[in-house]
Structure 1
Amino acid sequence: MTQAPRPNAAFKPRIFSGIQPSGGLTLGNYLGALKRFVEKQDEGIETIYCLVDLHAITVWQDPDKLRQQTREAAAAFLAAGIDPKRSVLFNQSQVSAHAELGWIFNCVARLGWMNRMTQFKDKVGKNSENASLGLYAYPSLMAADILLYHATMVPVGEDQKQHVELTRDIAAKFNHDFGVDFFPAPEPVIEGAATRVMSLRDGTRKMSKSDPSDASRINLTDDADTIAAKIRKAKTDPEPLPETLDGLKDRPEARNLVNIYAALSGKMPEAVLAEFAGQGFGLFKPVLADIAVATLAPISAEMGRLMADPAEIDRILGEGADRAEPIARPILNRTLDILGMVRRG
């Protein structure tokens, strides 16, 4: 691929990240994304967060469900602690510059780059001929989402790092092809003990809202009793917790629960093992359940309150789009000028 652009020193520090509103959010979304999004608000860097509904329609969506899921995802952001006055929060389709820059980047990205995107292969399996063109090309739209705001940092899970690398390649090629230093090279920000939360039923698979088993995940809409029950029933092994991380090497379910505890408590996994070494899961799970309930039950309750007033959620998203537009539109317009597109004066 193309050599990366020069460092981002000339660009204003700015964070962009997004979540697809394609179903109920889980503990994995909270620990891998929302919790860190909230923390970033306190770091003195502009934060822009987006519900990427254009990405959601790469597979067919029931319109009523898509509206519901978009509002529910917005409620999760707000309930987790995103402040719409300190962060820009909006849904992607309200800012048309995303789609416009996405098309431009379709013409910059190379087929060979797209063919190396592992998530497309994972999602379609052997059924690629029936997949939408949008599902194949969506990484270039993701690059547009990021670069439309000249974002310099992108909080992502480990599984999304490849898409940020593609974004860097697209930025580099555009800059090289037109002899400009216009787009920054955004850095993936991968932090925390549980950036990739695994299934409660299979520690080798990522926790997913699409898993047929509801017991495999903790939904952000679960109440306290449901959260505690799912933790108690989470798959484990008969061995006690070890003293070091090496002792978790071939114990994926145990490692997953330790990482979840660490992320919820703000401790390192090593500190968790130092506290619980030698104890069985009969003692560890109730403590984990308590901290999970204390963290997540208030979010669930606040989401319920917010979802009772969808007009207020729509207002917040609309105001967020009004704040995003003045950032995005000048960057798109300058891109069009660089490309040689004729525009009104």
Structure 2
Amino acid sequence: MLTGERPTGPLHLGHYFGTIRERVRLQQAGVEMFLVLADYQVITDRDTTDNVRENVHGAVLDYLAAGIDPERTTIFTHSSIPALNQLLLPFLSLVTEAELHRNPTVKSEYAASGRALSGLLLTYPVHQAADILFCKGNLVPVGKDNLPHVEMTRVIARRFNERYGELFPVPDALVTATPEVPGLDGRKMSKSYGNAISLSMTPEETVAAIRRTRTDQERRITFDPEARPGVSALLTTAALCLDVTPAELADDVGDAGSNALKTVTAAAVNDFLAPMRERRRSLAADGELVRSVLRRGNERANAEAEATLDEVREAMGTVYC
């Protein structure tokens, strides 16, 4: 299985409930997992890689604190695997420009930015195909909105196999029923929106972030995401941490008002994250740990990518000596 994310900022509760918790479960079930920190992909829609090193190191600490075991899961950085990135060239020959332009992520990023597409952003789906296929990935966990990326990978795998002989598995998407964790303003929790509760926040920072949430003047607490986005976001966040439904929690808070809800939410989040934060502090005390994890993960990923690239060259008839 191939999974991962772009290190564009600190990981947050949305990452934990959306993906990290499921990765730990699959790891414990014995699934062989490659976890990519796609640092090259940071610049698909950004002008700079400021803070990328800090974000990568922080993500590794978050993974380890949440239960990802680097002995069973290969954690690696995109830019450290040259053979993986070399797969991009033959893969690009298998898709058309029109197919790239039709990809929903490419279209939405273009619409949001209002500027010309970079070559890197346009070829983003093919980069993802290389990420998946370098390790012969046959299972890709995604939300429904990312199914087109897996379909592009399936197309590339089939076309390569038809042209050069059977080499790659045609991967299946594992559509995860992960809860969508709203940000503190009711929109999707996102680093770019500034509405996220980071896993690495201190308890005090968590309380302050929750206290800043805009709510309303209505005393009775109800769950209504459309009419009451701030209140409903707090209810959803606290409910996930308490393992209850937002409606049940709303009934519990009742007429106590928004300040009481914020107090309940801050306590729920801090209590839930306390064990992970303690493990993270302990892990961070070893200044060499993250570098060691990445070195070992990059070594394993490089060996896998080089073996796959050798097979691709052999299949294409481009081995000359």
Q: TM (normalized to structure 2)?
A: 0.85
- d(CA) in 2 for partners of 1:233 and 1:138? 36
Matched, 1:318 2:295: yes
SS of the aligned residue for 1:314 comes to helix
- Evaluate the alpha carbon distance shift between residue 310 and residue 110 of structure 1 in structure 2; reply closer, same or farther with a 3 A threshold: farther
- Evaluate the alpha carbon distance shift between residue 200 and residue 100 of structure 1 in structure 2; reply closer, same or farther with a 3 A threshold: same
Matches within 5 A, 1:239-258: 240-241=221-222, 251-258=228-235
* Aligned position for 1:142: 128
- d(CA) in 2 for partners of 1:310 and 1:302? 14
Query: Which whole-Å deviations, capped at 9, do the CAs of 1:192-234 have from their partners, x for residues lacking one?
Result: 323xx22212x2x3222122xx4x2212221112213333443
* Aligned position for 2:184: 200
- d(CA) in 1 for partners of 2:38 and 2:229? 31
CA contact (8 A) 2:182 2:236 kept: no
Q: Where in structure 2 are there 5+ consecutive unaligned residues?
A: none
Choose 105-114 or 277-286, whichever is displaced more: 277-286
> What's the offset of the Cα at 1:51?
0.9
SS of the aligned residue for 2:199 comes to coil
Matched, 1:72 2:46: no
- Evaluate the alpha carbon distance shift between residue 112 and residue 191 of structure 1 in structure 2; reply closer, same or farther with a 3 A threshold: same
Choose 170-179 or 136-145, whichever is displaced more: 170-179
- d(CA) in 2 for partners of 1:36 and 1:126? 32
- d(CA) in 2 for partners of 1:257 and 1:165? 35
- Evaluate the alpha carbon distance shift between residue 128 and residue 248 of structure 1 in structure 2; reply closer, same or farther with a 3 A threshold: closer
* Aligned position for 2:266: 289
CA contact (8 A) 1:161 1:188 kept: no
Matched, 1:151 2:137: yes
- d(CA) in 2 for partners of 1:225 and 1:67? 25
Instruction: Report the residue type matching 2:271 in the other structure.
Output: A
- d(CA) in 2 for partners of 1:188 and 1:38? 15
Instruction: Report the residue type matching 2:37 in the other structure.
Output: L
- d(CA) in 2 for partners of 1:78 and 1:316? 10
* Aligned position for 1:128: 115
* Aligned position for 2:192: 210
SS of the aligned residue for 1:241 comes to coil
Choose 230-239 or 96-105, whichever is displaced more: 230-239
SS of the aligned residue for 2:174 comes to strand
> What's the offset of the Cα at 1:251?
4.9
Choose 225-234 or 95-104, whichever is displaced more: 225-234
> What's the offset of the Cα at 1:142?
0.9
Residue 273 of structure 1 is aligned with which of 247, 250, 258?
247
> What's the offset of the Cα at 1:318?
0.6
Query: Which whole-Å deviations, capped at 9, do the CAs of 1:75-124 have from their partners, x for residues lacking one?
Result: 22112221111211121222222201122222222222211223233334
Matches within 5 A, 1:1-345: 15-58=1-44, 59-62=46-49, 65-124=51-110, 125=112, 127-129=114-116, 131-180=117-166, 182-194=168-180, 197-201=181-185, 203=186, 205-211=187-193, 214=194, 216-236=195-215, 238=218, 240-241=221-222, 251-266=228-243, 269=245, 272-274=246-248, 276-277=250-251, 279=254, 282=258, 283-307=260-284, 309-344=286-321
Instruction: Report the residue type matching 1:79 in the other structure.
Output: A
CA contact (8 A) 2:150 2:171 kept: no
CA contact (8 A) 1:153 1:189 kept: no
CA contact (8 A) 1:235 1:253 kept: yes
Query: Which whole-Å deviations, capped at 9, do the CAs of 1:231-283 have from their partners, x for residues lacking one?
Result: 344344535336xxxx656654455444434433445x4xx534644735545
- Evaluate the alpha carbon distance shift between residue 177 and residue 193 of structure 1 in structure 2; reply closer, same or farther with a 3 A threshold: same
SS of the aligned residue for 2:140 comes to strand
> What's the offset of the Cα at 1:304?
4.6
CA contact (8 A) 1:193 1:259 kept: no
Q: Percent identity?
A: 31
Query: Which whole-Å deviations, capped at 9, do the CAs of 1:301-321 have from their partners, x for residues lacking one?
Result: 544554454432111111112
Q: How many residues align?
A: 314
